[in-house]
Amino acid sequence: MHASRLATATVVAFTGFAALAGLTTSAQAAHAATDPGEVTVVLSNGRTLWPQGVGYVLQKCPSTQPYVVRAGVSSTAAVASDQKFQRYDHIYTSDDGRSVRVDFRNTQTYQEAAAMKRDVTVSVTLTVTCSNVDHGKPTGYDFSVASMVPPGGSENVTAQCPADNYSLVLNSAERHSDGLTVTGHHEGLHGDTYSYRNDDPLIMGSATVTVTCG
């Protein structure tokens, strides 16, 4: 394990194919839970990009709970190999601590789409926890990817940090449905990959990998 990785584990939960974001474990989150009179709200926003698309997702906190406590980004890949076309450029919390923005892109070219005979779409959801108490800006962000594993098949699921900032993996975690077996785990500086085998010959499996980036 890299020296930059934290000893604490990120807990990732999912139901079926859905990946849940915004689960960063941090001193800020722990403090938020013990602050008397604190009120929090969880908000999400998403966007889908087609081949060669570049865009962003922005989520603002409401005036009643104006401060960002933590944030995470999630995506899904119906075909695990489609993950390679998703790239996060950067993520940041605004100077006033009241909104989060993640910039991303779909790197599939029109030529690749033509060769594959299908367009790959990249869908990203940004989930932000907002509070009426200012704990300072988050020091790390979670990036989750969920993918299906076909009956009797094997897949690699990779979660990546942004390229331009918060680019180092601090820790990682995975969850998978019954019938899947973890056959490998590769730790990288900028992303982690878990390998899965679906031992069930009839039922589709699902797996979620999350990295905390800082």
**For residue range 101-149, what is the model confidence (pLDDT) as tens digits?**
999 999 999 999 999 999 999 999 999 999 999 999 999 999 999 999 9
pLDDT at 79: 85
In a domain, 10, yes or no: no
Question: In sequence order, what are the residues at sequence separation of 6 or more whose Cβ sits closer than 8 angstroms to the Cβ of residue 141?
Answer: 24, 70, 71, 72, 73, 91, 166, 212, 213, 214
Distance CA 64, CA 48 (A): 29
Closest CA to 79 of 155, 193, 183, 1: 155
Q: Which domain holds residue 203?
A: 19-213
Weakest mean pLDDT among 36-40, 92-96, 187-191: 36-40
Cα–Cα distance measured from residue 65 to residue 138, given in angstroms and rounded to the nearest whole number: 15
Mean of the per-residue pLDDT values of the chain: 87
For 19-48, what is the mean pLDDT? 64
Q: What's the total number of domains in the chain?
A: 1
pLDDT at 34: 55
Report pLDDT digits (tens) over 5-30: 443 332 233 333 333 333 333 333 43
pLDDT-above-90 percentage for the chain: 80
Q: How many CB atoms lie within 10 A of CB 152?
A: 12
**86 part of a folded domain:** yes
Q: Is the pTM of this model over 0.75?
A: yes
Residue with tokens 């009643």: 64
The number of CA neighbours under 13 Å toward the Cβ of 100 is: 30
pLDDT tens for 60-100 read 999 999 999 999 999 998 788 899 999 999 999 999 999 99
Q: Is residue 161 part of a domain?
A: yes
In a domain, 2, yes or no: no
Residue 45 lies in a domain: yes
Evaluate whether residue 209 is within a structural domain. Answer: yes
Residue 3 domain-assigned (yes or no): no
Would you call 95 exposed, middle or buried from its count of C-beta atoms within 10 A (0-12, 13-18, 19+)? exposed
Q: pLDDT value at position 36?
A: 76
